[in-house]
C-alpha cells in the first residue's frame, strides 16, 4: 500500500502553514511530517471514517431544519491537525490579552461616562446608531466591571505571515466544544501522532469557565446554569456539553421564573435560586418585558433582576456594541486610547461606508472587496467581490447607498492554507483560527482554538453554514 | 432537579421500556407464527390490539397483514408508539437531559437511533425474517438498562427514571395478559392441546416470564399464569413487583415531609393496596378483563398524578409563589 507523501503538494500564491514557498517543511511541522509519512493512505482514510463515526456517536450534530424530521449533520472534522508553534501562540496570546482588555474598557466606557465619544476618538453617531447598542444598559456596572467574559476572536494569517483579527465575536461565540471534542477524538483515533510533539493541553477549559463564573459573585458555591434556546438550536450540543463539563444546570427560559427580582429554577422540589447564568440566548431574546416582546426563549423579569445585581449574566447584555463591524475599524485607536499601546494584533483595513469618501471608494472597487453587513455574523449578508457576478455587485451597491451605516468593506485577504485530506489526496485548504478568551477576575486563554477550514477547493468561506469544516488545533510547547 | 428535566427522564425511561417490550413482542410473535397454519393471520391482530392501537392500524392499513403490522409496530412514524417513534422520543428526551446522564448511556440511546435509521433504510419489515433486527434492539435496550443502573447516581433523577420504567412495564404486562387471555380462553375445547400450549408459552415469553414461571409452577396453566403475571412478588415484570418497585422510588422522591402525601403518593398507594388485597380466584371469577382494565386506568391516573405533583410548572408556581 502506498505511503503518504506530500509530493505535488501545491503552495503557490498562498501562505501555507506547513511548508514555505520552496516546499521546505516549517520546523514545528517536521516531526509531524515524519510520522504521517510512515502511514499509508488506506489507514488515513480509515481513521477519517472513524472520526466521522465518533462525532455521530457523541451526538455532535446540528439540525438543518428545526423539526424532528430535519436532517442532522456533523461539522466535518478533518483528521490532519493544524499546528501552531509555541512562539506564534505566545505572541497571539499577548495580543488577545491586550485587545480584550481594551475592548472591555471601551464597553464599560460606552455604557458609563462615554469619554471615548467626548474625546472624539470614535464618532458618537456610530455608536448611537448601532443595532447592538443597548440603551437599557446605560449606567450599569456588572461585577468587576467585566462585560465580555467569553470572547471567540476570529483570526486569520495573511500572506505576510502575520495574524489579523477579522472579527471579535463578543456576544455568544460558539465552537469551543468542537475545540475540546476534536482533541478528544483525535487522541483516540490518532494517538501515534501526539507522541513527543508536546501538544499543550486544552481540557481545563470547562474548569476555567466555571472558575470565571464563580469569580463574578461573592456567594460561596453559587448556583450556576447554562441558558439554552433548546434542543433544536444548532449549538445545542455545545450548550449541553458545557453544562455537563461544568456540572452546571442546563436550563431553558421556561425553566426559570423571576420573583421579587431574583431568578429561580422551577424544580420538582419547589423554587431554587440561581446566581450566575451563562446565557447562550442573544440579548434581544433574554427578556420579553424589555427586549423582543415575542421571545419565547427568555424569562420575563430577567433583565430587571440583572439590573438590580441579583443575577450575573455571562456575557453581559450590550457587549455587541464592540462587535459592530463599523466599530471594528476603530479598535487600534481604542487600544491606543485606553492602554497607550500600539495594537499587537493587526486589524484588516476596513472602509466604513458611512463616510462618504470611503463609500465612494467601496463602490468604485467593489469587485475587489469583501462587503459585510455591520450587524450580521456567520458568513451571512456578505459579498465577496472577486467571486461575485456583476448583478450581485450592483445589488450590493444599491443596498450600500440605501443604508450606508449598515455596511463596511475590506480587501480580500488570502487566508493561509493547511494540508487537508480530500478524496484520497492531501491538498491545501484555507483556514481561520478562533481562540477562546475567558475574562473574570483575571484573563485566561487555553492554548488551543477552533480551526475552521473551507473544504471546497479555493473557497475562502470557512463558516459551518457555508460548507466549512474543522480541525484540531495543536499549540506546541516550543 | 428541574421539573422539565425530571419529566424528560421519566419519559425517556418509559419510551425505552416500551421499545424493548415491542421489540420482544415482535420476536415472540414471529416465532409463534412459524408454528401456526400458514393461512392464519390472526395472531398478528391481537398483537396490535395489545398495544391499544388497533383502530389506528385499521384506518391506515385495513386487514391484518404480517408485513404491514411489522411495519406499523416497528417503523411507522405515524404510529406514536412504534419502536421507531419510541426510540426517537427517547433520544429527544435524552438530548434534553444530556447533562444528567452519562456518556455511556447517551451513546447507547444515540446508537439505537442510528440502528433504527439503518432498519428503515434496509426495509427490515419486508425481510423474510426480521427477528435478528428486533432481537438486537431488545438486547440493546436491556444493555442500556444495565448501563443506566451501573453508571447513574441514585439521586432523584434515577428514581424518576425507575418510576417511568416500572409504570410502563406494569402497563405492558397487563395488556399482554388481557388480550391473550381473551383470545385463548374461549376455545375451551383446545385447552391442553399442543397449539394451546404453544400459545400460552408465547404469552409468557412476550414478557420474558417463561423460564421463571416454569421454575415456580412447572406446568402451563392459565390460572397460574395469571397469578404469576399479576401477583408474583418476586418476578420483575409482574404487575405487583413493578408497582412495589415504583412505590419504593416514589417514596424516596417524596420523602414524606410532615407526613403529607401528594397526589402521586395517594394514587400509587391505592393501586398497591388494590393488588395487596385481591387474589387470582377472585379476579378470575369477577372478570379478568375488567380487573386488568381497571389496573390500566389506575396506572394512568398514577402517571397523571406524577405529572401534576412534580412536572407541571404551573402547579409548582402555584404552590411556591412568594407574595
Residues B207-266: pLDDT tens digits?
Answer: 999 999 999 999 988 889 999 999 999 999 999 999 999 999 999 999 866 578 899 999
B105 is in which domain, residue-wise? 1-152
Question: Residue A452's beta-bridge partner residues?
Answer: A470
A-B interface: how many C-beta pairs under 8 angstroms? Answer: 71
Is B126 in the same domain as B163?
A: no
pLDDT in tens, chain A (478 residues): 688 989 889 988 889 999 998 999 999 999 999 999 998 999 999 999 999 999 999 988 877 654 455 678 889 999 999 999 999 999 999 999 999 999 999 999 999 999 999 999 999 999 998 889 999 999 999 999 999 999 999 999 998 899 999 999 999 899 999 999 999 999 998 888 888 889 999 999 999 999 999 999 999 999 999 999 999 888 999 999 999 999 999 999 999 999 999 999 999 989 999 999 999 999 999 999 999 998 889 999 999 999 999 999 999 999 999 988 889 999 999 999 999 999 999 999 999 998 889 999 999 999 999 999 987 766 677 898 888 899 999 999 999 999 998 999 999 888 999 999 988 899 999 999 999 999 999 999 999 999 999 999 888 888 877 778 999 999 999 8
Chain B residues whose beta carbon lies within 8 Å of the beta carbon of residue A255 = 2-4, 313
Give chain A's domain count: 1
Question: Is the CB of A66 inside 8 Å of chain B's CB atoms?
Answer: no
Asked if residue B24 has pLDDT above 50, the reply is yes
SS3 sequence, chain A?
CCECCCCCCCCCCCCECCECCCCCECHHHHHHHHHHHCCEHHHHHHHHHHHHHHHHHHCCEEECCCCCCCCEEECCEEEEEEEECHHHHHHHHHHHHHHHHHHHHHHHHHCCCCHHHHCCCCCHHHHHCCCCCCHHHCCCCCHHHCCCCEECCEEEECCCCCEEEEECCCCCCCCHHHHHHHHHHHHHHCHHHHCCCCECCCCCHHHHHHHHHHCCCCCCCCCEEEECCCCCCCCHHHHHHHHHHHCCEEECHHHEEEECCEEEEEECCEEEECCEEEECCCHHHCCCCCCCCCCCCCCCCHHHHHHCCCCEEECCCCHHHHHCHHHHCCHHHHHHHHHCCCCCCEECCCEECCCHHHHHHHHHCHHHEEEEECCCCCCCCEEEHHHCCHHHHHHHHHHHHHCHHHEEEEECCCCCEEEEEECCEEEEEEECEECCEEECCCEEECCCCEEEEECCCCCCCCCHHHCEEEEEEEEECC
Does the beta-carbon distance from B3 to A255 stay under 8 Å?
Answer: yes
Those of residues 159-218 in B touching chain A at CB distance below 8 A are 160
Give chain B's domain count: 2
Is B89 in the same domain as B223?
A: no
- Residue A365 included in any domain: yes
Does the beta-carbon distance from B4 to A252 stay under 8 Å?
Answer: yes
Is B299 in the same domain as B176?
A: yes
Q: Which helix (H) or strand (E) holds B161?
A: helix B156-184
Cell numbers standing for residue B193 = 392441546
- Residue A400 included in any domain: yes
Question: Is the CB of B6 inside 8 Å of chain A's CB atoms?
Answer: yes
Q: What is the DSSP letter of B262?
A: -
Question: Is the CB of B252 inside 8 Å of chain A's CB atoms?
Answer: no
Chain B residues whose beta carbon lies within 8 Å of the beta carbon of residue A260 = 322
Is B82 in the same domain as B181?
A: no
Domain end, chosen from B124, B152, B180, is at B152
Is B64 in the same domain as B185?
A: no
Domain end, chosen from B134, B152, B170, is at B152
Cell numbers standing for residue A52 = 466521522
Asked if residue B99 has pLDDT above 60, the reply is yes
Largest CA distance in chain A: 71
What is the per-residue pLDDT for B38? 60
Q: Which of A48, A44, A85 is nearest to A199 (CA)?
A: A85
Smallest Cβ–Cβ distance between B320 and the set A248, A250, A271 belongs to A271
- Residue A283 included in any domain: no
Mean pLDDT of B57-82: 94
Asked if residue B188 has pLDDT above 60, the reply is no
β A163-167/A154-157 pair status: antiparallel
Is B168 in the same domain as B49?
A: no
Does the beta-carbon distance from B316 to A267 stay under 8 Å?
Answer: yes
Does the beta-carbon distance from A268 to B253 stay under 8 Å?
Answer: yes
User: In angstroms, rounded to a whole number, what is the distance separating the alpha carbons of residues A392 and A197?
Assistant: 47
Residues B253-272: pLDDT tens digits?
Answer: 998 665 788 999 999 999 99
Confidence of residue B193 (pLDDT cuts 50, 70, 90): low
What is the per-residue pLDDT for A67? 47
Is B107 in the same domain as B230?
A: no
Question: Is the CB of A257 inside 8 Å of chain B's CB atoms?
Answer: yes
What is the per-residue pLDDT for B41? 58
* Side-chain-facing half-sphere of B173: CA atoms under 13 Å: 29
Query: CATH no. for residue A383?
Result: 3.30.1490.270
Is B94 in the same domain as B227?
A: no
Give Cβ neighbours of residue B92 (< 8 Å, ≥ 6 apart): A68, A231
- Residue A383 included in any domain: yes
Is B99 in the same domain as B139?
A: yes
Q: Is B163 exposed, middle or buried (0-12, 13-18, 19+ CB in 10 A)?
A: buried
Chain B residues whose beta carbon lies within 8 Å of the beta carbon of residue A251 = 2
A400 is in which domain, residue-wise? 349-412
User: In angstroms, rounded to a whole number, what is the distance separating the alpha carbons of residues A454 and A461?
Assistant: 6
Is B38 in the same domain as B158?
A: no
Q: Which own/partner contact pairs does A11-15 have at CB distance under 8 Å and 24+ positions apart?
A: A11/A417, A11/A428, A13/A414, A14/A159, A14/A414, A14/A416, A14/A417, A14/A428, A14/A430, A15/A157, A15/A158, A15/A159, A15/A160, A15/A161, A15/A414, A15/A416, A15/A417
Smallest Cβ–Cβ distance between A265 and the set B2, B99, B156 belongs to B2
Three-point CA angle B287, B289, B294, nearest 5°: 100
Chain A residues whose beta carbon lies within 8 Å of the beta carbon of residue B111 = 57
- Residue A372 included in any domain: yes
Unique residue bearing C-alpha cell 456539553: A241
User: In angstroms, rounded to a whole number, what is the distance separating the alpha carbons of residues B297 and B289?
Assistant: 12
Domain end, chosen from B152, B167, B198, is at B152
Mean pLDDT of B148-160: 95
Is B281 in the same domain as B191?
A: yes
What is the per-residue pLDDT for B128? 85
Question: Is the CB of B92 inside 8 Å of chain A's CB atoms?
Answer: yes
Query: Helices (DSSP H) in B237-309: which residue ranges?
Result: 239-254, 263-276, 280-286, 288-306
- Residue A402 included in any domain: yes
Question: Is the CB of B152 inside 8 Å of chain A's CB atoms?
Answer: no
Give the strand order in the sheet containing A262-267. Answer: A256-259, A262-267, A270-273
What is this structure's pTM? 0.91
Asked if residue B199 has pLDDT above 60, the reply is yes
- Residue A377 included in any domain: yes
What is the per-residue pLDDT for B53? 94
Question: Is the CB of A278 inside 8 Å of chain B's CB atoms?
Answer: no
Is B43 in the same domain as B114?
A: yes
Range with the poorest average pLDDT among A28-42, A337-351, B25-39, B147-161 = B25-39
Report the chain A residue with the minimal C-alpha distance to residue B1: A267
- Residue A360 included in any domain: yes
Does the beta-carbon distance from A271 to B114 stay under 8 Å?
Answer: no
Asked if residue B153 has pLDDT above 50, the reply is yes
Chain A residues whose beta carbon lies within 8 Å of the beta carbon of residue B3 = 255, 266-268
Question: Is the CB of B65 inside 8 Å of chain A's CB atoms?
Answer: no
3-state secondary structure of B2: strand
Amino acid at each position: 500500500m502506498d505511503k503518504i507523501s506530500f509530493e505535488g503538494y501545491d503552495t503557490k500564491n498562498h501562505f501555507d502553514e506547513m511548508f514555505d514557498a520552496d516546499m521546505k517543511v516549517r520546523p514545528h511541522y517536521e516531526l509531524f511530517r515524519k510520522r504521517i509519512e510512515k502511514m499509508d493512505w488506506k489507514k488515513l482514510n480509515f481513521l477519517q471514517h472513524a472520526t466521522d463515526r465518533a462525532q455521530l456517536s457523541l451526538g455532535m450534530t446540528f439540525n438543518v431544519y428545526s423539526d424532528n424530521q430535519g436532517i442532522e449533520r456533523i461539522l466535518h472534522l478533518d483528521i490532519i491537525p493544524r499546528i501552531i508553534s509555541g512562539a506564534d501562540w505566545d505572541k497571539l496570546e499577548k495580543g488577545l490579552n491586550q485587545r480584550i482588555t481594551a475592548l472591555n474598557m471601551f464597553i464599560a466606557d460606552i455604557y458609563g461616562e462615554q469619554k471615548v465619544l467626548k474625546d472624539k476618538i470614535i464618532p458618537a453617531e456610530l455608536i448611537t446608531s448601532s443595532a447592538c447598542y443597548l440603551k437599557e444598559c446605560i449606567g450599569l456596572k456588572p461585577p468587576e466591571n467585566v462585560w465580555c467574559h467569553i470572547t471567540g476572536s476570529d483570526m486569520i494569517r495573511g500572506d505576510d505571515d502575520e495574524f489579523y483579527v477579522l472579527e471579535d465575536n463578543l456576544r455568544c461565540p460558539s465552537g469551543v466544544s468542537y475545540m475540546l471534542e476534536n482533541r478528544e477524538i483525535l487522541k483516540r483515533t490518532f494517538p501515534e501522532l501526539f507522541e513527543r510533539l508536546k501538544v499543550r493541553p486544552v481540557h481545563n477549559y470547562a474548569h476555567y469557565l466555571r472558575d470565571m463564573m464563580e469569580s463574578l459573585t461573592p456567594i460561596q458555591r453559587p448556583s450556576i446554569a447554562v441558558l439554552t434556546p433548546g434542543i433544536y438550536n444548532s449549538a445545542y450540543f455545545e450548550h449541553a456539553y458545557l453544562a455537563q463539563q461544568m456540572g452546571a444546570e442546563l436550563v431553558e427560559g421556561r425553566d426559570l421564573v423571576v420573583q421579587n427580582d431574583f431568578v429561580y429554577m422551577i424544580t420538582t422540589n419547589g423554587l431554587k435560586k440561581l446566581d450566575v447564568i451563562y446565557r447562550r440566548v442573544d440579548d434581544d431574546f433574554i427578556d420579553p418585558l424589555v427586549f423582543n416582546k415575542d421571545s419565547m426563549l427568555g424569562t420575563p423579569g430577567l433583565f430587571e433582576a440583572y439590573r438590580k445585581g441579583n443575577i450575573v449574566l455571562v456575557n453581559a447584555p450590550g457587549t455587541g456594541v464592540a462587535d459592530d463591524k463599523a466599530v471594528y475599524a476603530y479598535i487600534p485607536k481604542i487600544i491606543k486610547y485606553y492602554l497607550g499601546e500600539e495594537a499587537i494584533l493587526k486589524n484588516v483595513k476596513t472602509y466604513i461606508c458611512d463616510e462618504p469618501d470611503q463609500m465612494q471608494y467601496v463602490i468604485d472597487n467593489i469587485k475587489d472587496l469583501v462587503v459585510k453587513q455591520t450587524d450580521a455574523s456567520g458568513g451571512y449578508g456578505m459579498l465577496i467581490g472577486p467571486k461575485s457576478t456583476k448583478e450581485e455587485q450592483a445589488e450590493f451597491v444599491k443596498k450600500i447607498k440605501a443604508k450606508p451605516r449598515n455596511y463596511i468593506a475590506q480587501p480580500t485577504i488570502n487566508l493561509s492554507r493547511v494540508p487537508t485530506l480530500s478524496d484520497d489526496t492531501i491538498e491545501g485548504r484555507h483556514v481561520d483560527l478562533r481562540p477562546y478568551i475567558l475574562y473574570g477576575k483575571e484573563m485566561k486563554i487555553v492554548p488551543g482554538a477552533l480551526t475552521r477550514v473551507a473544504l471546497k477547493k479555493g473557497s475562502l468561506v470557512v463558516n459551518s453554514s457555508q460548507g466549512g469544516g474543522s480541525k484540531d488545533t495543536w499549540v506546541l510547547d516550543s | 432537579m428541574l421539573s422539565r428535566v425530571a419529566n424528560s427522564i421519566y419519559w425517556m425511561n418509559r419510551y425505552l421500556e416500551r421499545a424493548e417490550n415491542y421489540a420482544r413482542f415482535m420476536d415472540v410473535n414471529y416465532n409463534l407464527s412459524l408454528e401456526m397454519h400458514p393461512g392464519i393471520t390472526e395472531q398478528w391482530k391481537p398483537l396490535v390490539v395489545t398495544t391499544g392501537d388497533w383502530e389506528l392500524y385499521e384506518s391506515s392499513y385495513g386487514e391484518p397483514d404480517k408485513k404491514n403490522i411489522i411495519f406499523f409496530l416497528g417503523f411507522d412514524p405515524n404510529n406514536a408508539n412504534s419502536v421507531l417513534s419510541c426510540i426517537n422520543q427517547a433520544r429527544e428526551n435524552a438530548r434534553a437531559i444530556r447533562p444528567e446522564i452519562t456518556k455511556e448511556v447517551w451513546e447507547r440511546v444515540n446508537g439505537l437511533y442510528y440502528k433504527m435509521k439503518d432498519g428503515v433504510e434496509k426495509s427490515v419489515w419486508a425481510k423474510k425474517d426480521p427477528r435478528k433486527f428486533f432481537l438486537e434492539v431488545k438486547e440493546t435496550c436491556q444493555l442500556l438498562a444495565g448501563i443506566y443502573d451501573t453508571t447513574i447516581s441514585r439521586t432523584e433523577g434515577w428514581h424518576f427514571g425507575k418510576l417511568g420504567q416500572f409504570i410502563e412495564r406494569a402497563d405492558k404486562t397487563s395488556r399482554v395478559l388481557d388480550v391473550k387471555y381473551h383470545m385463548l380462553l374461549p376455545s375451551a375445547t383446545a385447552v391442553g392441546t399442543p397449539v394451546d400450549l404453544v400459545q400460552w408459552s408465547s404469552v409468557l415469553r412476550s414478557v420474558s416470564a417463561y423460564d421463571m414461571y416454569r421454575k415456580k409452577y412447572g406446568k402451563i396453566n392459565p390460572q397460574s399464569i395469571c397469578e404469576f403475571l399479576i401477583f408474583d412478588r418476586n418476578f420483575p415484570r409482574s404487575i405487583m413487583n413493578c408497582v412495589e418497585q415504583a412505590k419504593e422510588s416514589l417514596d424516596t422522591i417524596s420523602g414524606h415531609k410532615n407526613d403529607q402525601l401528594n397526589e402521586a403518593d395517594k394514587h400509587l398507594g391505592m393501586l398497591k393496596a388494590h393488588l395487596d388485597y385481591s387474589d387470582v380466584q377472585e379476579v378470575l371469577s369477577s372478570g379478568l378483563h375488567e380487573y386488568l382494565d381497571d389496573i390500566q386506568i389506575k396506572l394512568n391516573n398514577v402517571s397523571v398524578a406524577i405529572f401534576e405533583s412534580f412536572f407541571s410548572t404551573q402547579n409548582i408556581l402555584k404552590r411556591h409563589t412568594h407574595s
